[in-house]
Structure 1
Amino acid sequence: MGPWHLHTSSALGPSRRAVPPPLHLLVELFGGHGPPLGQLVAEAQHEWVFLQEGAQRVPVREGRIRATLFLPPGDGPFPGIIDLYGVGGGLPEYRACLLANHGFAVLALAYYGYEDLPKNMAEFHLEYFEEAKDFLLQHKQVKGPGIGLLGISKGGDLCVSMASYLKDITATALINGSVANVAGVLRYKDVAIPPLGFDIERITVNKDGIVDIYDLLDNPLEGPSSQSFIPLEKAECHFLFIVGQEDRNWKSDFFAVEGSKRLQAHGKEKPQIIRYPGTGHYIEPPFFPMCPASVHKLVGKPVLWGGEPKAHFEAQVDAWQQIQAFFHKHLSGTPPKASDRL
């Protein structure tokens, strides 16, 4: 029998923004190179359940809040986390859902481009995020005295802003986030932080027509752009920076280092920084496909996100475990159970 050929097929639900039904994966192993396929040697079926039995998905339309709350099985109370995504807008639910399976009450929060929320990112008002924080903390199944924040990309710098200005934030985890305000004016009461400047002349395009925006943004340590640096030294929480070292969206490692320097310069705790070589911008939960490039909503063209497949996939597995451990430590006061996996 010659070399074996592995064939897989899956039944996916709707867009991965919403929680899909269970994912069924059929794995078949055939002899030979194919096509045509040789003799079937072995097969197996795998089911990936997004929302485990007994967990709850609760749509939230409370005041201005547009969100979905995921609650683990049982009565709780559970440690609370607000989950924010990036410039794609809308209400992605899948990461919050999967995280709730590990004992957290997770609020997937929309902040623009969804229902009656703003259609663009011209301004961000922290009062909206404060309302969501208060809603989560006041929920009878959420454990206080503080909550956690999890943000990727633009959602990351919004989490930094929340931690810097709002009370009751205990732990903040950023996935390739910025410590400078990006894309629109950030407002809270009498505070207004301008967005970080940029220069479109620093954009490059490769032979396939994919845009590289890595050098687009200005340095937040220089000139007027320094006004965009979020005062994270005001935060009273623990920080975790997850960094993909091949992130082509922006300089995530630089942001993590400068955030760490600023915190320590003001006598604050040194944040945890975990770096992943060969890893791009969109570090998703384990086994989600790597996204090497896609259309950027602000740029209006396909942009490069970076990363090498094997390293990126391995980083997604490890980062998921690191995020859980971080929140269990600082929100639950206990390490994750040995049975907690993916």
Structure 2
Amino acid sequence: MAATLSLEPAGRSCWDEPLSIAVRGLAPEQPVTLRAVLRDEKGALFRAHARYRADAAGELDLARAPALGGSFAGLEPMGLLWAMEPDRPHWRLVKRDVQTPFVVELEVLDGHEPDGGRLLARAVHERHFMAPGVRRVPVREGRVRGTLFLPAGTGPFPGIIDLFGIGGGLLEYRASLLAGKGFAVMALAYYNYDDLPKDLDVIHLEYFEEAVTYLLSHPQAEGPGIGLLGISKGAELCLSMASFLKGITAAVIINGSVANVATTLKYKDESLPPVGTDINRTKVTKDGFSDIMDFLNVPLEGADQNCIIPVERSDTAFLFLVGQDDHNWKSEFYAREASKRLQTHGKEKPQIICYPETGHYIEPPYFPWCKASIHSYFNTVVIWGGKSRAHAMAQVDAWQQLQTFFHKHLSGDKRTIPAKL
């Protein structure tokens, strides 16, 4: 009997959806290797492989069979996705066109040689970024530039603004996936996109205020307030928005800074300078990469006190998702500093979830861990921290945590999902 490779869901699924992988028709206890290959939109290949042994009936179910080695080991049903590594050095997997899927090719090879075994079975699977019924609406309203993703149904839905980091442009994949969970999510660009400023010399919060006003007034967005979701520089901007602007009920801060970084921040007659830096504190790893974790001054005393975002003004509910091995900056320190300032001023204690052996880019589930890549601000290869498996597990949990948090604070859903780590 010929071997068959079966996937559930068959044919297509959403990127953040678990995938069941099984092989049938093997010989009893036959050794095999499973390979997964994905080509990104820039043509870079990402690959993973793992060695397995069929059971006495000649079947192999990745939910029950541990990998015996390869890109990962142990019981890891989704390891063939999260353990992928790029053929190109220092390359991060990013989805730029959410209207098209990533196509994953899966192969079963005889034996335990990932490049030499006879091909036994093959399957192709599409991993999509827009759930059925999700609508994509480009936004050009006043100065606001972005994309609004609306769930299937009539709404209204809890509204969220989604911000990425210092690379600029417009990334939509997190917003599009989150819309599939019942939120109206606007991926917001803030520089180096369309007719927006090309650099970050000065950030004016009035632009973000206009975006908040737009989403609050949208008939498909449920009030009275909206949520914010940001990572890295985007998370820092979410803290600033929650501190200066009205209409923000909840904010999820993924590896953000409580200090204003890299550029002057202005709102009306107030101005925050950027935190000081010292390039001499940058280290070089044994692999020749830059470790920039200590590049920023620790803003606790002296002139750098002026750059701290005044979070104590905010009545927003906060969830901080922190990679404890973040090498971009001291994310855990900043989360706890923000918590201390909020509580000192009688504000609600924020929720902080810390993930051990987890680096900077906490993405939606099953995105491969990025060890090192080009930092757009430094224009050099930097390390991001973390370890592959721990980072992958953190992404799955963080995705559930932020959904629960937003449902609770934006739509009154009191369900909780306990942290797994």
Matched residues in 2 for 1:159 and 1:68: separation?
18
Q: Which residue, out of 136, 139, 146, partners 1:60?
A: 139
- 1:79-108 per-residue CA deviation (whole Å, 9 max, x = no partner) reads 000000001100000000000000000000
Matched residues in 2 for 1:323 and 1:337: separation?
10
Matched residues in 1 for 2:116 and 2:132: separation?
41
Matched residues in 2 for 1:174 and 1:33: separation?
43
Offset at residue 222 of structure 1 (A): 1.5
Is 1:6–2:34 an aligned residue pair?
yes
Offset at residue 156 of structure 1 (A): 0.7
Give the 4+ runs in structure 1 shifted more than 4 A: 11-15, 42-45, 335-338
Is 1:273–2:352 an aligned residue pair?
yes
**Residues 13 and 21 of structure 1 are in contact (CA less than 8 Å); yes or no, is this contact kept in structure 2?**
no
Which residue identity is paired with 2:364? P
Is 1:159–2:238 an aligned residue pair?
yes
**Residues 324 and 336 of structure 1 are in contact (CA less than 8 Å); yes or no, is this contact kept in structure 2?**
no
Is 1:221–2:249 an aligned residue pair?
no
Q: Which residue, out of 370, 376, 380, partners 1:297?
A: 376
**Residues 358 and 387 of structure 2 are in contact (CA less than 8 Å); yes or no, is this contact kept in structure 1?**
yes
* Cα gap change, 1:48 to 1:80, in 2 (>3 Å): same
Matched residues in 2 for 1:193 and 1:152: separation?
20
Offset at residue 39 of structure 1 (A): 5.3
Offset at residue 6 of structure 1 (A): 1.0
Is 1:128–2:207 an aligned residue pair?
yes
Secondary structure at the counterpart of residue 181 of structure 1: coil
| Segment drifting more, 11-20 vs 187-196 | 11-20
Matched residues in 2 for 1:147 and 1:248: separation?
30
Map 1:197-236 → 2, pairs under 5 A:
197-236=276-315
Matched residues in 2 for 1:115 and 1:39: separation?
47
Offset at residue 2 of structure 1 (A): 5.9
Offset at residue 23 of structure 1 (A): 2.9
2:194 aligned partner: 115
Offset at residue 242 of structure 1 (A): 0.3
Is 1:38–2:66 an aligned residue pair?
no
**Residues 174 and 241 of structure 1 are in contact (CA less than 8 Å); yes or no, is this contact kept in structure 2?**
yes
Q: Which residue, out of 139, 158, 161, partners 1:82?
A: 161
Is 1:28–2:107 an aligned residue pair?
yes
Q: Which residue, out of 327, 339, 342, partners 1:248?
A: 327
Matched residues in 2 for 1:91 and 1:176: separation?
19
* Cα gap change, 1:138 to 1:215, in 2 (>3 Å): same
Secondary structure at the counterpart of residue 95 of structure 2: coil
Structure 2: segments with no counterpart, 5+ residues: 1-28, 43-93
Matched residues in 1 for 2:317 and 2:353: separation?
14
Matched residues in 1 for 2:262 and 2:39: separation?
37
Matched residues in 2 for 1:48 and 1:335: separation?
31
Matched residues in 2 for 1:297 and 1:94: separation?
19
Secondary structure at the counterpart of residue 48 of structure 1: strand
2:14 aligned partner: none
Matched residues in 2 for 1:39 and 1:28: separation?
7
**Residues 2 and 33 of structure 1 are in contact (CA less than 8 Å); yes or no, is this contact kept in structure 2?**
no
**Residues 324 and 357 of structure 2 are in contact (CA less than 8 Å); yes or no, is this contact kept in structure 1?**
yes
Which residue identity is paired with 1:7? R
> Percent of aligned positions with the same letter in both sequences?
60
Which residue identity is paired with 1:325? T
**Residues 13 and 20 of structure 1 are in contact (CA less than 8 Å); yes or no, is this contact kept in structure 2?**
no
Larger Cα-atom Rg: 2
1:311 aligned partner: 390
**Residues 9 and 25 of structure 1 are in contact (CA less than 8 Å); yes or no, is this contact kept in structure 2?**
yes
**Residues 85 and 153 of structure 1 are in contact (CA less than 8 Å); yes or no, is this contact kept in structure 2?**
yes
Which residue identity is paired with 1:4? V
2:411 aligned partner: 332
* Cα gap change, 1:24 to 1:180, in 2 (>3 Å): same
Q: How many residues in Structure 1 have an aligned counterpart in Structure 2? A: 337
**Residues 210 and 304 of structure 1 are in contact (CA less than 8 Å); yes or no, is this contact kept in structure 2?**
yes
2:98 aligned partner: 19
| Segment drifting more, 289-298 vs 153-162 | 289-298
Matched residues in 2 for 1:117 and 1:222: separation?
35
